[in-house]
Structure 1
Amino acid sequence: MMQHTIITIGRQFGSGGHEIGNKLSERLDIPLYDHNLIRMAAQELRISNEDATKVDETILGRFLSAYASSSLEYRVFMNSDEAGKTLTDRVFDRQSAIIRKLAEEGPGIFVGRCADYVLGDYTNCINTFIYAYKEDRIRRIMKLYKLTEKQAADKIRKTDRDRKNYYEARTKREWGGIDANSMMFNASLLGIDGVVDALEAIYRKWENRE
């Protein structure tokens, strides 16, 4: 039975959730899993790493559906217990299995990928959701992607919609809802480092509890 602690991070686009995960990983010296989970699943399904780097949770289904329609290689390597499932479902299943395996092996931080749902049976999970004020998110995305204010706002709206649809279709839970998360952090109020400080303290206390 898993004894070590896992942190899952759900996040609004532009809230700094990924940066928080990176900094927390360095502070705690535990691995961070995010886009690399997609690459692991893609390798198992014989999808090239080059193609896999182009996808994340917001466009996974659309990408894989297009890939499946033109790829015979995948069908050759498909397991018998995967027959009848859509390619999107099979990738989600593979990704979920990888998440569970990594969680069993040691502590880690999982960003997105419905990890809070996938690890729902584990009692040693700290499930978090990071959000921020819209103005701060727009400024952050403008700076990161060199976009205009309108472009940044449009990108935030679309990405959040895609993340919400992906999460809710897979989990039947409300994306960003309190029922799915142990705690929620407003990065606009606490700042990136403030959220990292809080999660570090919670993690260390969690690890040292009787």
Structure 2
Amino acid sequence: MDNFVITIARQYGSGGRTIGEELAKKLGISYYDKDIIRMASEESGIHEQLFGRADENVSTKQRFFAKSGIYKGELIPPQSRDFTSDENLFNYQAKVIRQLAETESCVIIGRCANMILKDYSNVLRVFVYGDWDFRIREASKKLSGTTKDIEKFMQKDDKRKEDFCKRFMGVDWADMTKYNLCLDNGTLGYEKCVEEIESALEILKK
């Protein structure tokens, strides 16, 4: 294949972002996380700050929207009143993700990239997780506050990712059948996770 993409979905504190960064560096390919928001803003002409509304952030009301809002690939035209709707903000991020998959090798973190690219044969879809104690230890390296505060944040973040995927893709974010490779970083460790992804990538390339 001319190029390949590795998508990484992850629980907060699982180390998925760090694994993605180390993997991209080792393979000598691009790494995309929040860069996609900037790129979607440039593509659409919509101010970057507005994308915060669709950046894995779904309100209680939005959880109950009809399935008509689930991503189908169409962009809403500028003359429409819904041009800056959450759906269209997601649509533009999805467009950027598809363009990346078609033009270069890279690692993409989050944003339902595994489902947006579900029909692409050059994509390895990875989910990184860890047991609760491991995640708390890792999260405490970045977050301040008590253990209870950190646990509350992690629970909220898990729910946020779950709602985001259900809202825009109609799937369960933690459904392991939506991924090619699921890695317990708490057991394997960072180095081994990177090695496992590299091994799976070699199989994909054959």
Q: TM-score range by the shorter chain?
A: 0.7 to 0.9
CA distance in 1: counterparts of 2:41 and 2:100, whole angstroms: 16
Q: Which residue of 1 aligns with 2:85?
A: 87
Q: Give 1:4 shift.
A: 2.2
Deviations 1:130-169 (A, max 9, x none): 0001011111111212232111101100001000000122
Q: Which residue of 1 aligns with 2:72?
A: none
- Would you say the 8 A contact 2:51–2:89 is kept in 1? no
Q: Give 1:48 shift.
A: 4.4
Q: How does 1:1-210 map to 2 (within 5 A)?
A: 3-49=2-48, 51=49, 57-59=55-57, 79-80=77-78, 83-84=81-82, 87-207=85-205, 209=206
CA distance in 2: counterparts of 1:132 and 1:82, whole angstroms: 43
Gaps of 5+ in 2: 63-75
Question: 3-state SS of the aligned residue for 2:56?
Answer: coil
Distance 1:56 1:195, change over 3 A: farther
Name the TM-score, length of structure 1 as normaliser: 0.81
Question: 3-state SS of the aligned residue for 2:153?
Answer: helix
Distance 1:52 1:33, change over 3 A: farther
Distance 1:23 1:55, change over 3 A: farther
- Would you say the 8 A contact 2:54–2:90 is kept in 1? no
Deviations 1:24-54 (A, max 9, x none): 00000111111111121123344545x3696
CA distance in 1: counterparts of 2:111 and 2:29, whole angstroms: 18
- The size of the alignment, in residue pairs, is 191
Question: 3-state SS of the aligned residue for 1:202?
Answer: helix
Of residues 142-151 and 110-119 in structure 1, the stretch that sits farther from structure 2 once superposed is 142-151
The residue type paired with residue 106 of structure 2 is G
CA distance in 2: counterparts of 1:103 and 1:81, whole angstroms: 29
Question: 3-state SS of the aligned residue for 1:15?
Answer: coil
Gaps of 5+ in 1: 66-77
Question: 3-state SS of the aligned residue for 1:109?
Answer: strand
- Would you say the 8 A contact 1:38–1:56 is kept in 2? no
> Structure 1 vs Structure 2: percent identity of aligned residues?
28
The residue type paired with residue 130 of structure 1 is V
CA distance in 2: counterparts of 1:177 and 1:81, whole angstroms: 37
- Would you say the 8 A contact 2:23–2:194 is kept in 1? yes
Instruction: Give 4+ residue runs of structure 1 displaced > 2 Å after superposition.
Output: 42-49, 51-59, 78-86, 204-207
The residue type paired with residue 41 of structure 2 is A
Name the TM-score, length of structure 2 as normaliser: 0.83
Question: 3-state SS of the aligned residue for 2:125?
Answer: strand
Q: Give 1:80 shift.
A: 4.6
Deviations 1:33-92 (A, max 9, x none): 11111121123344545x369677333x56xx9xxxxxxxxxxxx835755466101111
Higher helix share: 1
